A and B are shown apart, each in its own frame.
Chain A
């Protein structure tokens, strides 16, 4: 039997015996037997000096490799044997981990971020305007003539100095049109104010995301496309939409968009007040009067605009039945949403 074969045989036996060792003592005996000063493998290594240089390199390499391997096997086995005996009986992993509290965004922010994100992916840029606004930007330039009943639909807070608290984010349209030339494709999220009694259904402050796109050849069909895509993404399912003609002074034609009530699927329930539909936004084609006010040529460009209330879908999605909860900032409420 040449040395290489011997090595192979020693390796095989040693591996088997070492894996089977059932105590530290047995393992130590095996170590001495194979790797000790007079051990089998040690003897072979000693015998190397009688070999040729060629053989020395070849056999020596194999022998050393085996020695390293057996050392590791002994080490591993020793570890296994010792951990099997010394289990820490006081270790109780049912105790909670160190609390690492990740705070919560406000529900309105969560929904607003979702809405903004969807429209940003469709190529809308974010703009904003002041909360304290002039009559011109909030009403007049948007084709609300003074003394027009359409103003009644938006109960307005006035502040010292003749300004008002914006009743919608639509004024940003005018501010941006004044600064830019078409194409203009913008969303404007923000706070809006209405002088309405505070109750479970309405609050004097809420949030809107205004969107508008002015370019050559923008049609009502484009508006429908963008809003359908938005609803599909926002409600995370294929919701049914209803475009219902309505009236806003700054768009014509104007529409309100309803979604099929997702709680009762249109059969009628308390969520949709038995109407089967939930109103979620207003929209329309930008009125030529608005373009006139900002110096756009309505023979060259057309555009659409929409305004989405943030609170309503936020409440609907989570079945929250009192809007005041949003503004009370009870942290037990805030912590419920991600």
Chain B
């Protein structure tokens, strides 16, 4: 019994097989059991699922709470219905208009999201939903007020009008295509960027992701899906009135996602089925509905905080573990190729100052790093080393002075633009995305190296796949380079500290930085890892990249760096070759202490 089960679970195409089987059943079912009522309910479910898939992109993956998504559906529904009934458009341009209008409004909704934190923003979207609800009833000249829009015709293709069954198949097809496209998209650089913006905006910008553009992208795309669902809603119901879109309509979709499992691909599907279908089956309990919802939600939060799909995943893993099967997927294979050379950039920091309130963090600091050189910045804790890195990579504004990379001024650029200009970096506390695999974290670093559009990613066009394969090969190569290939598929959050650092270096390298800045890469590394780090940095220098490293391990610095700058209290104390700086009396007393004797080893 257990062995047959194990053989079944080990079948590599299990998931795909189940999904295809499910699709076949859904496509064939109406021929056998397709009563008018069932088709109506099933089509409506499909429309709701579509809305929820779109909202899941924004909320589950993008982390933005929108309580106004139902209003976007209403806009799509009215746009399609009014053009079809009053202007006699056919369904196809009407649906397109519905998507464009919803997307346009979604774009407007996105704007406050850049200024407000999550919950204030959620309130704004709720207010927005109220405004739309008001417009639907009050702007009678356009919307026909409470009477609504009546007699919405069925979609037609080549003169043939869709029956209820055709509409069901059509909606089912759209749901399947949207899910496949969404899966492709989430597996691409856009999906990783979205999660990065949600979980660690600093890591996202350091990989060249523009927070503004990714958020707008998520809003617009999820709004367009809501608009499409609205158009389908209209033709399916044939009559729409403002009462179809009450204020809690929006809230329901958010609940659907939480119920199903936010940030999980199947979450909105399962959530919508349970949320909208169960009440249809339990019409006898109509008056108890809210109480049941409330109780179910409480239980869910307690026992399945990641929704029904999250709970199912947990059980699945437990089952596999019990049968002795691994829960870590196999590392994907990719073609092997040598690591390509990088043209190191020249860095010049001229007279840079920075004050925080009354404290001078940096006082007219100069730093020159020639192309391909490995340059260390050392100094006591609080002397401004990390501040200097943060100024170069754009996280702090420069009060005074100039910074140039390859002769191009960068001091007024945003962090993601500086990353795109070829400045990669790591952080003192590794900034990985804990819920993504190590490999996915490293792939995030390839965000700017890949050029394909979101559409070609969603459609999995050959050009996009080629690029993704190239990134994958490169990511695996760099993971090998830092000694983490065996752990590529584990969750990054489960790696020990030292290995998280190495993974972060691999992420920066995948972006092929002309200037790589490492903030205390050796902190917390074991002796063997230290050796590996030394080799790693030497290898990075061998590729040609310029490296700026903030580090307290002076032996490492002496081994791998040809230049050292010592800071103290925000000013340059000494600068030059390591043996000169480390024998400078001021540096020894301010920073090194009695225990460290760097010069003697070689002498």
Say whether A associates with B. Answer: no
